[in-house]
Amino acid sequence: MPEKAPINFFIREIKWRFCYMLLSVVITFTSCYLVAPDLLFWITKPCQNFQTHFVFFNIPEALYTTLKVCALVSLCTVLPVFWYQLWSFFIPSFTASERTRVTRTSILFFFLFSVSIYWTFSIGTPLLAEFLLQYQVYQGSFVLEYQATLASYVSWTWSCLLIVSLLAQCPTILFIGLLWGKLKPKNITKYRKALFLLCVCLAASLSPPDVVLQTGMTLALWLYSEFIILCFFVYEALFFKNQ
């Protein structure tokens, strides 16, 4: 890109990059729609051990749910393409140190995003569904049973993915503050009590009203936060020891 390019040059480049992103969305969505049954099987796979079939109550519900799944999978798939287009457009205006910071932050973001997807569909959702479905009741004539609808299950699964993804990106936010010199790991350790209280509040708001489950989630979140702090201390010692 020229150092003093006219505004038309930037507008033309923005248009081309927008066309690339739009084309990637169309191709990805079309591909997902062609393999929609496989996608639905993959999303409902965590529930296969205790739920063998799903129903829908409205005639267009299955179609709307299929389109929703295709759209969400397409969004997750093309997200790196979107970021690459933005990165390619803005990176020439950054200094060498800023490029390094942005690149490292991007790598961390997409790594944690991939881990959150894997954890949700391979570990988290199966365990949580198994725990919640144990509250079904079969006592004589009284039956309390979960009737699985495709739309409700897909919405619940993607809600779990959203929550896990947001929690997984906490290190990215702190990492940005560390790279730009706005935050130090030792400053975080001063607020350990407040951090533990935050873990308790998050566990109470995200988990069902069960003492054992909330206690376990609180400990998991607290260990997760302590692991993040440890990683930041290690990163600071390796990359900032000469600064």
pLDDT at 34: 92
User: In sequence order, which residues have a C-beta less than 8 Å from that of residue 91 and are 6 or more positions away?
Assistant: 99, 102
pLDDT at 4: 58
Alpha-helix runs per DSSP H in the chain: 7-34, 36-44, 61-90, 96-119, 125-132, 150-168, 170-179, 185-189, 192-206, 211-239
pLDDT at 202: 79
Strand partners, 149: 55
Q: Is residue 218 part of a domain?
A: yes
Q: Is residue 9 part of a domain?
A: no
**Location of structure tokens 């944690």:** 112
Q: How confident is the model at residue 200 (pLDDT cuts 50, 70, 90)?
A: confident
Q: How confident is the model at residue 201 (pLDDT cuts 50, 70, 90)?
A: confident
- Compute the average pLDDT of residues 230-234: 78
DSSP string of 139-172? Answer: ETTEEE----BHHHHHHHHHHHHHHHHHHHTHHH
Segment 94-146, tens digit of pLDDT: 888 888 888 888 888 889 888 888 888 888 787 777 777 777 777 777 777 77
Distance CA 151, CA 157 (A): 10
pLDDT at 3: 54
Q: Is residue 134 part of a domain?
A: no
Q: Is residue 197 part of a domain?
A: yes
Residue 2 has pLDDT above 60, yes or no: no
Residue 236 has pLDDT above 60, yes or no: yes
Q: Is residue 202 part of a domain?
A: yes
Provide the mean pLDDT of the chain: 80
DSSP assigned state of 55: B
pLDDT at 239: 63
Question: In total, how many domains does the chain have?
Answer: 1
Distance CA 116, CA 163 (A): 9
- Full residue range of the structural domain in which residue 201 is found: 184-243
Q: Which of 230, 232, 231 is nearest to 184 (CA)?
A: 232
Between 163 and 143, residue with greater pLDDT: 163
pLDDT at 227: 82
Q: Is residue 198 part of a domain?
A: yes
Q: Which residues of 19-34 are buried (b: 16+ CB within 10 A; e: fewer)?
A: eebeebbeebbeebbe
pLDDT at 21: 87
- Compute the average pLDDT of residues 165-188: 78
Residue 170 has pLDDT above 60, yes or no: yes
Q: Is residue 1 part of a domain?
A: no
Percent of the chain residues past pLDDT 70, beyond the cut: 88
Segment 11-69, tens digit of pLDDT: 888 888 888 888 988 999 999 999 988 888 888 776 666 666 777 777 888 888 888 88
